[in-house]
Amino acid sequence: MPEFPRQFPNGKTTELFHYPISAIMSMGYEKRRSVTLLALGGFFVNVVVQLVNPLLKITVCSVNQFQWPITKDTPIIRMGQRTFFFAFPGLLYALQFPRVCGPTVVAYLVRLFKRFSYYQDFAEVSTADSVAGYPCSDNEPSLWNIVRPLAEPMAHEILLLFGHRPGLSRFYVSNHNSSYTRAIRLSATTRTIMEAFVSGSLTLSCITIQDSYNEPPCIPARASIIVFTCLVDALEASTLVSHGFKTIPLLDSCNNAFYPSTGFRVWRLNDVGVINFVRGLDAAVKNEEECVLSKTVEESSSDEEKGEEVTSNVDDKGKGKQVMP
């Protein structure tokens, strides 16, 4: 597939992949274990590069403007012919494409995921009887009930390998800081970091580059997921303080994660960078939530008119919901 670069004053974004139909869902970690539709629409993969520091890069996925990063220290797990799980500290997403999305397109996307993330394919690690190596077909009504219990422990094991905290956010207290809210905040944070990257407001004074294995300086430094989740954690801690909680979990150091493999360098925000970005994130989160809600309603209404079987509401178990036809 061709690459489409877009130039900005201090950086550029390059479109590596685009498919016009997709759905991204949040797999809630709360007791109800709900499946929440986050966005419907075109799926994009973009790489963002700074012109001043061209070895600094971030890779961003999006569905209809809902954004999330992919990094070398977070897993993507393929759980079907066209179904993928993304795991982050405190979040679990499922991305699905319709059956008209052919194997050639998916194969190209898999190559990108292998390049930019910690990728695993369930069909390559499972020996159980299955559909083409997967637990069930992608349009199985009980898909999420079947594949989530298999994908989640795989994802959590990888996050732990890199020193991250899997599962429900530590800042989820008394129904504050839900998985859905965390997803909105991650999207807003991703957009903010991306804009700072190409505008030049994110400078070397805001970051730390980890080079544990003395990799050559010509190797690009890619963002750690901590760049994004440390800001989301700070927003969640602030929410608890604003609601009068006197005891809240301590924020993790931005330098806690460990990288057990060679061949890449990572960059993350230092204390100066975290302080600079947290200040402006509240407004960005509010705008993001309004945008996501409006887009979800708009796309769901459009799909109903077209007769497509994609819904924005789920029952307690998610059976038959959020599965693309």
Domains of the chain, first to last: 4-306 (2.30.29.30)
Q: pLDDT tens across 27-80, in order?
A: 999 988 899 999 999 999 999 998 888 888 999 999 999 999 999 999 999 999
DSSP helix/strand/coil, 27: strand
CA distance 280 to 83: 35
pLDDT of residue 8: 77
pLDDT of residue 110: 98
Q: pLDDT tens across 189-208, in order?
A: 999 999 998 888 888 899 98
- Residue 308 pLDDT class (50, 70, 90 cuts): very low
Specify the higher pLDDT residue, 308 or 185.
Answer: 185
Residue 313 has pLDDT above 80, yes or no: no
Residue 84 has pLDDT above 60, yes or no: yes
pLDDT of residue 246: 76
Triad 268, 249, 238: Cα angle to 5°? 75
Residue 278 has pLDDT above 80, yes or no: yes
- Residue 219 pLDDT class (50, 70, 90 cuts): confident
Identify which of 161, 196, 175 has the alpha carbon closest to the alpha carbon of residue 53.
Answer: 196
Whether residue 286 contacts residue 280, with contact meaning beta carbons closer than 8 Å, is answered with no
Residue 261 has pLDDT above 90, yes or no: no
Residue 275 has pLDDT above 50, yes or no: yes
CA distance 46 to 99: 24
Q: pLDDT tens across 98-127, in order?
A: 999 999 999 999 999 999 999 999 998 876
Residue 136 token pair: 């069930």
Residue 294 token pair: 């409006």
Residue 311 has pLDDT above 70, yes or no: no
DSSP helix/strand/coil, 31: coil
The size of the chain, in residues, is 325
Whether residue 17 contacts residue 44, with contact meaning beta carbons closer than 8 Å, is answered with yes
Specify the higher pLDDT residue, 284 or 144.
Answer: 144
Residue 135 has pLDDT above 50, yes or no: yes
- Residue 316 pLDDT class (50, 70, 90 cuts): very low
Residues near 276 by beta carbon (within 8 Å), at least 6 away in sequence: 206
- Residue 263 pLDDT class (50, 70, 90 cuts): low
pLDDT of residue 260: 52
Whether residue 83 contacts residue 151, with contact meaning beta carbons closer than 8 Å, is answered with no
- Residue 169 pLDDT class (50, 70, 90 cuts): very high
CA distance 284 to 188: 6
Pairing mode, strands 221-223 and 56-63: parallel
DSSP helix/strand/coil, 292: helix
Average pLDDT over residues 141-164: 95
Mean pLDDT of the chain: 84
Specify the higher pLDDT residue, 184 or 217.
Answer: 184
Residues near 89 by beta carbon (within 8 Å), at least 6 away in sequence: 159, 164, 165, 166, 169, 225, 229
